[in-house]
A and B are shown apart, each in its own frame.
Chain A
Amino acid sequence: MATTACFIIVSRNDIPIYEAEVGSTVKREDAAHLHQFILHAAQDIVQDLAWTTSAMFLKAIDRFNDLVVSVYVTAGHTRFMLLHDSRNDDGIKSFFQEVHELYIKTLLNPLYLPGSRITSSHFDTKVRALARKYL
């Protein structure tokens, strides 16, 4: 189980539509800022890397000290970015795939505007449960 993990879903316009701290440590204010900064900066790398491969799971694309950024890109270029300090690649891949399914279900909701924030508490609960399971 990762001690630190920050999961953000970013739309293709670089707008974060979902954020969650899914690590097991207590959330700290400045840590939250730092995580956002790291993930935000990692987007530069993702942007280029996404076009070079047809795979969705891009593994670890960036590092900062001991934190690793793993990214999963969907067909609509929505990025699932996970900041973590563990090395559990398979677990992370399964996590991303499950979250992708959840995201598709959210997209199927006709009342959901793609690119807007995901506010469903059901989604939030499920993501956290998946994080506990796989990470």
Chain B
Amino acid sequence: EMMGVTYFMLNHSRKEAEYCMENAFNTYLKNVPAGHQNATRCGLWWIEMLKARDQYKEAASVYFHISGEESLHSAVMLEQASYCYLYSKPPMLRKYGFHLVLSGNQYKKCDQIKHAIRTYQRAISVFKGTTWSYIKDHVHFHVGQWYAFLGLYDAAVVHMLEVLMCAHQSKTTQELFLKNFLHFVQKAGKACEVLKLPLPIINASSLKVVFEDHRTYASPAAIGVRESLWRSFEEEVIPSLPTARTNWLEVQSKPISRKRKESNVCIVGEAIQVDVEFKNPLQISIPLTNVSLICELFERSDEAQTDASTSSELQNNEHINLTAERLMNFDKSSFALSDVDCTLESGSTTMVKLTVTPREEGILNIVGVKWRLSGSVVGCYNFLTTTMKKTATRKKKQKRSFTDNLKFEVIKSLPKLEGLIHTLPEKVYAGELRHLTLELSNMSEAAVKNLKMKISHPRFLNIGKAEHLKDIVVRKDSPLSWPLWFHAAVPGNISLYIVLYYEIEDAESFMKYRTLRMFYNLEVLPAIDVSFQISPLPSTLQKFLVRMDVASRTSLEDFQIHQLSSLGSQWEISLIDTLFHPPLLMSAQAFTCFLMLKRCEKPKGSDEVSSLTPCIGGDVKLSPNDDGESLYDISLSPLSDFHNCERLHQEKPSQGDSDTVDFVLISRRVHSESGSGVSYSPCLLSNHACHCSISSSSPISWAVEGPREIHHNFSASFCEVSLRMTLYNSSDAVASLRVNTLDSNQSGFLLSDSSAVLPTNQEGWYNVSLESEIKVTSDVRGTILNSLSSESIRPIIWSGSSSTKLQLEPSSTVQIPLQVCIFCPGTYDLSNYVVQWNLQWPIDQGNEETRPNSGTCPGYPYYITVLPSS
């Protein structure tokens, strides 16, 4: 040791000096019993030597070696080591901090709390803002504990606040921290003070404010719909703001100040709902009580003051303090706050709904939210301060910044309508008809008038005579019940939007009108599918065969078909088999029914008759006769209104056939035992099938008319029969027709069973001598053709023109004469003619391949019987 010191004093051979000192030091420590003091002394010399040569790092390590076991001794040494690290160039701050912490630990061990705190405080400055979480927690926690030990609870609380957000620690540690924190707060007597607690985490961006000014909502579901959707929907109902200056004749409305236009408006006595998200990052659950909003309500004369204070650059800190002070002595009577209690589970996020209801007019500011943590500490969170930072950084002032949402202008009380549609089911079957009631009640003193209602889906909801709504005044004690008709037209998920506009009778108020927005969501299940196929009956013009296929698309209910009605230009419908009654439509089954559709004659002078007026016979009852139900009249509202909507919605077939018929099938749900989740009530279903086309594949149809049975004296002459053929063009184009009567392919037959073979392909003139060659006896059966077998003639020939060519306009009829000559009695089939048609479509219409252009139709059987007259 002495050698080393002397080498140092000589100031040469550094290495030697160090070597000596090190040797001495080690020897003291190891070999000399109780040589610790000597080692310490030796070490201190060594350290001074190193320090003199600016070798602070080595000095620090020597200090470290000296530190040994005994707490106070090691504490002091470690502290000195830390200062050495600090002095080293470059300063080793982390080592400095670390050794301070170590020394602090040692101080604590020997109960030198104040020294421990002192060293730890120094260490805090090193570890400030570090992301090494365990380090930070350790330091703050211990300092906090030691302060508490000393009785300085205020400082303890400050430090404990730092460690509250310790999601990275284990569960027991979190509990420990929280428990200690609460304990210290209790001791510090800060339970009634409001602190800026970091726990729980409040997500300011999740803030949602719901208030009602001139837009009121009937249910929380209505609030959830986007504002832009409501706005565009309400456009027609709300009167637009007058942009031109009103003249002096009209009542002057109060000049609307600029401030008023920008801030939100709310009404005295109506609640503003604020939704805030609370998050608990810890693994332990946190009980929260007394969660409520922090609000301020100013009189309107204070407007100028608040303007000045909020628009200038406000120090964030000032504002926090302002709030904290205000909270303690706040006049709470001007608004009512809601109080919510909740427990946040570990790691959970909860949406807390808070309300504030202003009771006086003025300017209302929602400042923040406060809560009580674990029943002891009150924490608060200021909405404005966090957002002020955001808005300061933005260069362009946005139209509506976050804070604007929290400022309200409270105006005096206005009436508010509450509306509810009772009995609107959530699940219905497609086609169901229901009678609903809209109930409107006015809870306030003033009355409302001039109601207007708009429905988004008139196909589903029919409000009857809407004009009468205007004359109604709804007062406090007289609620209004308005009947509604509901028809579930198509399956699927349907959202119904209803807006009710009403005006306030009191002309002085700032707000002249309000709207009530209602939103309902319902699910329509598929029930009955019905399809129609119509084909014209051959050889007739006015009769059509209708094939109706009814299928049940649900497996849970049974239906009974009640009636089928036809609408549109005088139709008559009847069952082909009048004894047939469609069976009960069981679940997931189908049946087919055939009906006859006949076109009625239009009564003369009926130009103004609406095409939807059914004529007698337009309905056919399909249910068993014994159920005692009568037919429903489909010309009455609401069925007719719903049908009109269906006509608009169901597309017309692209061919644009003007001749269509509409069908309405009314059925009834039969009570079934299985519960299907749909509320049971004896209900009707109506299925509307519109624009059923009655055209056939061929656009030309015809009918042959004439006598069917003739008595003729064949001894006098042959029989000439005149027939009429009426042709009808059901297409949209001009048709050129050719009716060729063919004498070939005679398919008639004689009443005799003669074996004479009628020749085919015989055309031309031939001499027919009647008297001699044909013997007509009274016995028709025995008529024989004689001696004509070699040169046989046909007993019937077409004697009119063999080919008639004509043009037929669209949707028009024409009559052509036909003539046959019959030479001997019998029953003949006059089907040996063909009708060739050619449609001439206008050139500019495309898509000609899909349209029929031409065709040939053979003739229908037409039987004529000629009997000899005696």
* Bound CA span A45–B57, Å: 10
Say whether A44 contacts B134, CB under 8 Å. Answer: no
**Contacting B134 at CB < 8 Å: which of A36, A41, A42?**
A36
In the complex, which residues of chain B have a beta carbon less than 8 angstroms from the beta carbon of A42? 94
User: Would you give the shortest CB distance from A115 to chain B, in whole angstroms?
Assistant: 11
Determine whether B97 belongs to the interface, using a CB cutoff of 8 Å to chain A. Answer: yes
Residue of A nearest to B142 (CB): A33
* Bound CA span A38–B170, Å: 21
* Contact pattern, B 60-103, Cβ under 8 Å of A = 1, otherwise 0: 00000000000000000000000001000010111101110100
Determine whether B135 belongs to the interface, using a CB cutoff of 8 Å to chain A. Answer: yes
* Bound CA span A36–B137, Å: 11
User: Would you give the shortest CB distance from B590 to chain A, in whole angstroms?
Assistant: 56
* Bound CA span A41–B82, Å: 11
Determine whether B744 belongs to the interface, using a CB cutoff of 8 Å to chain A. Answer: no
Q: In B644-669, which residues have CB < 8 Å from any A CB? A: none
* Bound CA span A19–B137, Å: 16
User: Between A and B, how many residue pairs show CB distances below 8 Å?
Assistant: 41
Determine whether B132 belongs to the interface, using a CB cutoff of 8 Å to chain A. Answer: yes
Say whether A15 contacts B94, CB under 8 Å. Answer: no
In the complex, which residues of chain B have a beta carbon less than 8 angstroms from the beta carbon of A45? 92
Determine whether A23 belongs to the interface, using a CB cutoff of 8 Å to chain B. Answer: no
**Contacting A40 at CB < 8 Å: which of B98, B137, B173?**
B98
Chain B residue total in the interface (Cβ 8 A) = 19
Q: In B315-333, which residues have CB < 8 Å from any A CB? A: none
In the complex, which residues of chain A have a beta carbon less than 8 angstroms from the beta carbon of B697? none
Say whether A43 contacts B94, CB under 8 Å. Answer: yes
* Bound CA span A32–B166, Å: 15
In the complex, which residues of chain B have a beta carbon less than 8 angstroms from the beta carbon of A38? 98
Say whether B94 contacts A29, CB under 8 Å. Answer: no
**Contacting B131 at CB < 8 Å: which of A16, A33, A48?**
A16
* Bound CA span A32–B137, Å: 12
* Contact pattern, B 129-165, Cβ under 8 Å of A = 1, otherwise 0: 0111011011000000000000000000000000000
Residue of B nearest to A11 (CB): B131
User: Would you give the shortest CB distance from B47 to chain A, in whole angstroms?
Assistant: 19
**Contacting A44 at CB < 8 Å: which of B93, B132, B173?**
B93
Residue of A nearest to B92 (CB): A44
User: Would you give the shortest CB distance from B419 to chain A, in whole angstroms?
Assistant: 50
Say whether B138 contacts A33, CB under 8 Å. Answer: yes
* Bound CA span A37–B138, Å: 10
* Bound CA span A29–B132, Å: 15
Q: With A16-B131, A16-B132 in contact, is A40–B138 under 8 Å at CB?
A: no
**Contacting A29 at CB < 8 Å: which of B93, B98, B135, B170?**
B170
Q: With A29-B173, A33-B138 in contact, is A44–B131 under 8 Å at CB?
A: no
In the complex, which residues of chain B have a beta carbon less than 8 angstroms from the beta carbon of A32? 134
* Bound CA span A40–B132, Å: 8
Say whether B98 contacts A41, CB under 8 Å. Answer: yes
User: Would you give the shortest CB distance from A116 to chain B, in whole angstroms?
Assistant: 11
* Contact pattern, A 27-66, Cβ under 8 Å of B = 1, otherwise 0: 0010011001110111111001000000000000000000
Q: In B323-355, which residues have CB < 8 Å from any A CB? A: none
Most chain B Cβ neighbours within 10 Å, of A42, A43, A44:
A44
Residue of B nearest to A15 (CB): B131
Say whether B132 contacts A36, CB under 8 Å. Answer: yes
Say whether A37 contacts B131, CB under 8 Å. Answer: no
Chain B interface residues toward A at CB < 8 A = 85, 90, 92-95, 97-99, 101, 130-132, 134-135, 137-138, 170, 173
Chain A interface residues toward B at CB < 8 A = 14-16, 29, 32-33, 36-38, 40-45, 48
30 pairs across A/B with beta carbons < 8 Å? Answer: A16-B131, A16-B132, A29-B170, A29-B173, A33-B134, A33-B135, A33-B138, A36-B132, A37-B98, A37-B101, A37-B138, A38-B98, A40-B94, A40-B97, A40-B98, A40-B130, A40-B132, A40-B135, A41-B92, A41-B94, A41-B95, A41-B97, A41-B98, A41-B99, A42-B94, A44-B85, A44-B92, A44-B94, A44-B95, A48-B90
| Extra contacts besides A36-B135, A37-B135, A42-B94 (11): CB < 8 Å | A14-B130, A16-B132, A29-B173, A33-B135, A36-B132, A37-B138, A40-B97, A40-B98, A40-B130, A41-B97, A44-B94
